[in-house]
């Protein structure tokens, strides 16, 4: 069971990976979408702290991809506060914040530091035999990344690349629910989150991904040929609007 859970955890995309894909697909930066740092004073339970450590992690990643230096520092500080509340100080200590300040003008270094912090947080929780908290952090980060992606997307035809990145999260959503399901019986917080995810599940199930054959793709510069599976995404504007609505409602329930 432990091996299976670790496999699922490491197969989920980190918030940095997800937000980088968004930028590559043409997403812009909108700071008004972030969970305000002032909300952190409302999070008193371990469930709220864990979910919103994930949420702030996704917001931090989003800000870092777009090189928002001041926002990066603010969100790292609030993440540290929540980490302390979860006995995760070792994962986000002052040395990490100092490294961010020293490398604020180097986007690649900032992204690397944030990625290390995300992995260290989950590793610490697993080593401390608290994988349920790690699962909740992952859930919060995944939901926030989906929220940001859907809010930054308007039209299924005009925003085709963004739509593809969003629908591809259908696979990682399956992995996330599998991970949470391992702890649902013994953890009421996780059971509640699984219930909250049902709206997302329903809307994803209505979106069709059609896998087709394997095709060869050659990189012109390197001359390397690789095999790639092609896929076609069938999604209507109404289906996307429903997914966007569900993502916003779920995310807002996490941050309130």
Q: What is the pLDDT of residues 113-136, one digit of tens each?
A: 666 665 555 555 555 556 788 888
The conformational region for residue 240 under phi > 0 = left, psi -120 to 50 = alpha, else beta, is alpha
Does residue 146 register a pLDDT over 60? yes
Look at residue 1 in the predicted model and tell me its pLDDT: 43
- Rg, C-alpha atoms of the chain: 18
Structure tokens at 138: 């992952």
Indicate the pTM of the whole model: 0.80
Of 90, 100, 28, 108, nearest in space to 69 by CA: 100
For 198-249, what is each residue's pLDDT tens digit? 999 999 999 988 876 666 667 676 667 766 666 788 999 999 999 999 999 9
Spacing of C-alpha 110 from chain mean position: 17
Place of tokens 């329930």: 253
**For the residues 4-32, what does the mean pLDDT come to?**
69
**pLDDT band at residue 14 using 50, 70 and 90 as cut-offs:** low
- The residue-averaged pLDDT of 89-117 equals 65
Q: How far is CA 49 from CA 56, 126, 172, 251, in A?
A: 10, 17, 23, 14
Backbone φ, ψ for residue 155 (5° rounding): -125, 130
Cα 127 to Cα 121, 133, 141, 231: the distances in Å are: 10, 12, 20, 38
Residue 39 has pLDDT above 60, yes or no: yes
């Amino acid at each position: 069971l432990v091996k299976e859970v670790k496999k699922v955890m490491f197969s989920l995309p980190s918030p940095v990976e997800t937000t980088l894909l968004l930028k590559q697909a043409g997403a812009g930066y909108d700071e008004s979408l972030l969970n305000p740092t002032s909300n952190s004073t409302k999070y008193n339970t371990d469930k709220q702290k864990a979910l919103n450590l994930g949420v702030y992690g996704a917001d931090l990643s989003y800000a870092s991809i777009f090189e928002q230096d001041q926002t990066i520092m603010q969100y790292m500080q609030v993440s540290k506060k929540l980490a302390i509340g979860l006995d995760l100080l070792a994962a986000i200590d002052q040395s990490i914040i100092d490294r961010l300040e020293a490398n604020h003008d180097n986007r690649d270094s900032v992204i690397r530091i944030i990625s290390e912090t995300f992995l260290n947080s989950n590793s610490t929780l697993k080593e401390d035999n608290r994988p349920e908290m790690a699962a909740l952090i992952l859930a919060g980060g995944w939901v926030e990344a989906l929220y940001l992606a859907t809010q930054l997307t308007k039209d299924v035809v005009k925003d085709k690349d963004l739509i593809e990145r969003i629908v591809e999260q259908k696979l990682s959503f399956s992995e996330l629910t599998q991970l949470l399901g391992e702890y649902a019986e013994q953890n009421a917080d996780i059971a509640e989150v699984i219930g909250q995810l049902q709206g997302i599940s329903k809307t994803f199930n209505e979106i069709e991904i059609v896998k087709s054959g394997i095709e060869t793709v050659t990189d012109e510069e390197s001359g390397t040929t690789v095999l790639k599976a092609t896929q076609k995404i069938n999604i209507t504007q109404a289906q996307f609007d429903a997914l966007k609505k569900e993502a916003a409602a779920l995310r807002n329930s996490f941050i309130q």
